[in-house]
A and B are shown apart, each in its own frame.
Chain A
Amino acid sequence: MMHRRVYKPKMPDGDKSPVGRRGFIKGAAASAAALAAESSMARAQEPRAHDHDHDHQAVPSDLTLRVKALESLLVEKGLVDRAALDAVVDAYETKIGPRNGARVVARAWVDPAYRKRLLTDATAAIAELGYAGGQGEDMVVLENAPKVHNLVVCTLCSCYPWPILGLPPVWYKSAPYRSRAVIDPRGVLSEFGLELAEDVEVRVWDSTAEVRYLVLPERPDGSEHMTEEQLAGLVTRDSMVGVAKVSVVGGKS
């Protein structure tokens, strides 16, 4: 397999797990492997695992070259401004991400009046905290409870509430999740490590229109003494999509 240049990606705003250099390289290696496999018809699932740690050689992929050429062309034609592209990338890499949603959830946990507003007019309640924008224009919040678990999917494409969760992760956009979340939600949840009891009602929400959904997870046991800010630090992206619960130990992603 041809090796590609390692890209050291920025972590999303909502990621708080400590990531060392090896972690970065592993993520980059997985994406490099996915790029290298671009001619393979076998790649229905993305991205591939790639379990070694060495730095790859500096050979740009076809896609890297194609997009560079496209960008140069559009800049020369006066259709795009490079600094504007940088600003869009920066906005979604550093400002618009699951930290926003985590603040909404934490506020709802500590402020019953806010929680009520969030459940009756989510768009307005979310805007109170300063979050609004494309793909979050019309929000609905779904409240989890001991006997009710909500799960969000977009079977037709990749609809996702950008202003409060950022851009969706690869798994959310992948064929396995899109195909199975509606027909086998409990099986999908168990692959995420979440086993639900038989008597829990599962409510799947397929985002087929322009309404965007956010799951309000249950406040975890043992968090009674925590401040709003500490609580926001516990809330993961996955819990707000509905594929995980929140725990005081802190979760992944």
Chain B
Amino acid sequence: MNGIHDMGGMHGMGRVQHENNEPVFHAPWEARTYAITRVLRAGGGRQNLDNSRHQLELLPPAEYLRMTYYERWLTRLINQLVDNGGATREEIESGTPAPGSPKATPAVTAAMVPALVARRNSARRDARVSARFRVGQRVRARNMHPNGHTRLPRYARGRLGLVVRDHGVFVFPDTNAEFLGEKPQHVYSVRFAARELWGDRASSRDFIHLDMWDDYLERA
């Protein structure tokens, strides 16, 4: 979707504000929001990483900009709990379970956490899928504007680039985010000259690399 999250190349966002000696979390609620999200994610259910990213993209644009990072996470967490039937909005408002609601057993205990954070959950797949492009080939990013989730930023669409690396076969986020299947395919690192993306004011010595699925590319 052509959402506010697709920020590459936008103007007007101001200077980058670097904080020295920045803490991992700026308040306990941020830490708890992160931890609850991780633990519930490990519990399974109808969810995946691509869909979770899409949930953030679906926040209203003004809200997306207003919120801090972990406020977005908290909003998504609440939305997902409600959508998945984990809790009702009334329960979340009150902080107490509805009378007679069932009691579950936590999927993740403290003893399981070291394995949880060290677990590899790669989106790489062993599927035998042939590569449509090869390293060294000139390609064009497709001019596509899907309503749903995509990882092809607007700033690269329609632009010419060079395949510099084939990363192998990965889950395709556009379908996976909608629970329409993994559609595994090759992902390439594609190199674009800054001038191809941004015009003559860009430095001729700057290059931007994007990781692109087969379905995002066409022959140049």
Contact = CB atoms under 8 A, between A and B. Distances in A.
Interface of A: 7, 9-12, 15, 17, 19, 23, 27-28, 30-32, 34-35, 38, 40-41, 43-47, 49, 61, 63-64, 66-74, 76-81, 83-89, 91-93, 96-97, 132-134, 137-138, 140, 155-158, 163, 166-167, 169-171, 173-183, 185-186, 188, 191-192, 198-211, 238, 252-253
Contacts of A169: 18-19, 22
A178 B5 CA distance: 9
A186 B21 contact: no
A85 B32 contact: yes
Given A81-B108, A183-B198, A253 B20 contact: yes
A175 B7 contact: yes
Interface of B: 5-11, 13-29, 31-36, 38-40, 43, 53, 56, 62, 65-66, 68-69, 71, 74, 77-78, 86-87, 91-97, 101, 103-106, 108-110, 112-114, 116-124, 151-153, 155, 165, 167, 170-171, 173, 187, 189, 194, 197-198, 202-203, 205-213
Nearest to A94: B24
Contact of A27 (B17, B23, B117, B171): B23
Contacts of B28: 7, 64, 67
Contacts of B121: 134, 137
11 contacts: A34-B26, A46-B69, A63-B29, A78-B106, A84-B112, A89-B25, A134-B121, A137-B122, A156-B7, A206-B209, A211-B167
A241 B152 CA distance: 22
Contacts of B91: 73, 77
B19 A211 contact: no
Nearest to A77: B97
Given A202-B203, A253-B22, A76 B97 contact: yes
A122 B104 CA distance: 41
Given A84-B106, A93-B31, A208-B153, A156 B6 contact: yes
A9 B94 contact: no
Given A74-B36, A178-B8, A209-B187, A9 B26 contact: yes
A9 B39 contact: no
A157 B210 contact: no
Contacts of A175: 7, 10, 13-14, 65
Nearest to B6: A156
A178 B36 contact: no
Given A73-B87, A92-B24, A203-B209, A44 B97 contact: no
Contacts of A9: 23-27
Given A23-B21, A38-B71, A84-B39, 17 more contacts: A9-B25, A9-B27, A27-B21, A34-B68, A73-B92, A84-B35, A85-B35, A88-B35, A91-B117, A133-B119, A167-B24, A171-B17, A176-B17, A179-B7, A183-B198, A192-B18, A204-B207
Nearest to B28: A7
B27 to A, nearest CB: 5
Most buried by A among B34, B94, B151: B151
B7 A178 contact: yes
Contact of B209 (A69, A92, A204): A204
A188 B20 CA distance: 17
Contact of B32 (A43, A71, A78): A71
A45 B67 CA distance: 9
Nearest to B112: A84
B74 A63 contact: yes
B2 to A, nearest CB: 12
A41 B62 contact: yes
Contacts of A176: 13-17
Contacts of A173: 69
